[in-house]
Amino acid sequence: MTIDLGPLVPRDRTAHPVAYDVDYKTSVPRSPQWPLLSMESTPSEETGPRFGQSLLGPLDNNLILNWTGGTAAAVGERILVHGRVLDEFGRPVPQTLVEIWQANAGGRYRHVKDTYFAPIDPNFGGCGRTITDENGYYEFLTIRPGAYPWPNRANDWRPMHIHYSVFGHSFGQRLISQMYFQGDPLIDICPIAATIKDRSQLDRLVAPLDMAKSRPLDFLAYKMDIVLRGRRQTMFENKIEGM
């Protein structure tokens, strides 16, 4: 029996930031120097164990409490980040592992190489995970991350942001992105955000304030829907990647 997967939606390469941008200094060593190659995939990219609900802890999507196991709360403004994972036709993508990581309220990561002057919050680990439900919905309770300086130009600062990772059904299916906050003035002067030349594309990474989901006297909410480009692999040189 043949299963109709539907038409392949071509990738819009104009929506992706350039690999090398003169104002983003570390893109110089990171950007490719030679033409990209399409390599054959292996079973490790095409298969892998499914991450199920049984592997989640009760506080995995609560970054305010998960580092201490609920014994003490992280310091900072409480917020709820929520949304849906959808395909390119607006249909929900259920049972998808969504992970986030972020700086603390002072703008510092719990990482040995982060030497920013802001203090480490002993009650905040900075990462969480959850699985989308049957409607593709996810949510995280966390604190608003602080902005922080980074050694790019003389006085560059990263806007408040949360890193996202979305896993598919195999190790080779992973999307990594960032979420910014509505109204943050640093977005307009951030060299990393500026690598996305189309402002409408950059705005898709900015989560709007969602007062309908906010809880009075508790937290504000921000909505971040994640739209995946397709149900099939990307075409390279007129063939499916890895085939």
Binned at pLDDT 50, 70 and 90, residue 242 comes out as very low
User: Taking the domain 45-144+161-183+197-240, which CATH number applies?
Assistant: 2.60.130.10
Give the residue, 10 or 78, on which the prediction is more confident: 78
Strand partners, 78: 143
Task: Say which of 138, 148, 164, 222 is annotated catalytic.
Answer: 148
What DSSP character marks residue 146?
Answer: P
Binned at pLDDT 50, 70 and 90, residue 50 comes out as low
**Residues 6 or more apart whose Cβ sits within 8 Å of residue 185:** none
Residue-by-residue DSSP string for 164-179: EEEE-SSTT-EEEEEE
How much is the pLDDT for 6?
63
How much is the pLDDT for 234?
41
pTM given for the model: 0.87
Active site residue 163: yes
Task: Say which of 158, 164, 180, 222 is annotated catalytic.
Answer: 158
Q: Rounded to whole angstroms, what are the CA distances from 100 to 82, 158, 172, 227?
A: 12, 17, 18, 16
Percent of the chain with pLDDT over 90: 64
**Residues 6 or more apart whose Cβ sits within 8 Å of residue 49:** none
How much is the pLDDT for 49?
62
Task: Say which of 109, 138, 164, 180 is annotated catalytic.
Answer: 109
Q: What would the mean pLDDT of 148-158 be, rounded to a whole number?
A: 95
Given a cut of 90, whether residue 145 has pLDDT beyond it is yes
Q: Rounded to whole angstroms, what are the CA distances from 90 to 170, 201, 223, 225, 231?
A: 22, 17, 16, 10, 12
How much is the pLDDT for 121?
98
Active site residue 111: no
How much is the pLDDT for 210?
98
How much is the pLDDT for 119?
96
Active site residue 109: yes
Residue-by-residue DSSP string for 3-40: ----------GGGSPPS--TTSTTHHHHS-SS----PP
**Dihedral class, residue 217 (left if φ above 0, else alpha if ψ from -120 to 50, else beta):** left
Q: Which two tokens stand for residue 196?
A: 């996305």
Binned at pLDDT 50, 70 and 90, residue 115 comes out as very high
Task: Say which of 110, 116, 137, 163 is annotated catalytic.
Answer: 163
Domain coordinates of the chain in residue numbers? 45-144+161-183+197-240
